[in-house]
């Protein structure tokens, strides 16, 4: 039964999201509704999924499925999240040439882009509450790391992988190594 739930949940995520960060609200909803993860677990999952190679949806499906139902669960969750993309890609490929210059297609994209931005902002707000505020306390190191990485990304033109790796290293230092040294 868990395998069917994993497949259907990730197939739903694949069919109703646009990939990348826009998947996170749907993943959060599915994970919490089934009791597979908490918002804090998802925050950690996104950090891990962003640091590993591959698309966010596949990384999240792999991790969630494996954590929930072992290797087979991970495989089934990945198949679930890939099924919609594969199906839709085949359908779109057939019709894209015919409609690519259509005014309807331009209007659709005009509407889709702001929706994606709103979903990403929603994710930022949701994940910020578990990353920058823990049990009501502000996490100054987390906020400092985020500010530094934003500066390096925008002003210094660092690559996204470099920013992710640097954030991970600083997180390990401030939240892993230093507390152990102090403790």
Q: What does each C-alpha distance from 79 to 60, 83, 89, 93, 116 come to in angstroms?
A: 12, 6, 15, 21, 24
Same domain for 75 and 53, yes or no, is yes
Provide the mean pLDDT of the chain. Answer: 86
Percent of the chain with pLDDT over 90: 30
pLDDT above 80 (res 125): yes
Give the pLDDT score at 152: 96
Range of the domain at 145: 138-183
Q: Where are the beta strands (DSSP E) in 30-129?
A: none
Domain count, the chain: 2
Residue written as tokens 């920058």?
132
110 plus 167 within the same structural domain:
no
- Pick the range with the lowest mean pLDDT from 1-15, 110-124, 167-181: 167-181
Percent of the chain residues past pLDDT 70, beyond the cut: 96
- DSSP state letter for 135: T
Asked whether residue 70 falls in the same domain as residue 143, the answer is no
For 133, the 3-state DSSP assignment is strand
Element (H, E) at 174: none
95-128: buried (b, 16+ CB within 10 Å) or exposed (e) per residue? eeeeeeeeeeeeeeeeeeeeeeeebbeebeebbe
Average pLDDT value for residue range 14-40: 82
| Interval 74-108: pLDDT, tens | 999 999 999 988 898 888 878 767 777 888 888 88
Q: Tell me: do 31 and 95 sit in the same domain.
A: yes
Residues 21 and 85 grouped into a single domain: yes
What are the distances in angstroms from CA 161 to CA 29, 166, 167?
27, 8, 10
Please say whether the beta carbons of 60 and 45 come within 8 A.
yes
Model-level pTM? 0.54
């Amino acid at each position: 039964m868990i395998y069917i739930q994993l497949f259907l949940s990730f197939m739903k995520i694949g069919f109703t999201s646009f990939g990348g960060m826009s998947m996170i609200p749907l993943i959060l909803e599915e994970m919490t509704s089934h009791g597979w993860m908490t918002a804090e677990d998802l925050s950690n999952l996104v950090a891990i999924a962003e640091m590993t190679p591959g698309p966010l949806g596949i990384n999240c499906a792999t991790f969630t499925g494996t954590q929930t139902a072992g290797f087979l669960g991970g495989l089934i969750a990945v198949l679930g999240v890939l099924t919609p993309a594969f199906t839709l890609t085949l359908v779109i490929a057939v019709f894209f040439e015919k409609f690519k210059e259509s005014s309807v297609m331009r209007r659709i994209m005009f509407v889709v882009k702001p929706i994606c931005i709103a979903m990403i902002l929603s994710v930022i707000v949701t994940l910020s509450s578990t990353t920058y505020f823990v049990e009501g306390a502000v996490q100054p190191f987390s906020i400092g790391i985020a500010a530094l990485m934003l500066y390096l990304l925008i002003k210094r033109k660092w690559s996204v992988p470099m920013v992710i790796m640097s954030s991970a290293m600083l997180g390990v230092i401030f939240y892993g190594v230093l507390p152990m040294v102090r403790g």
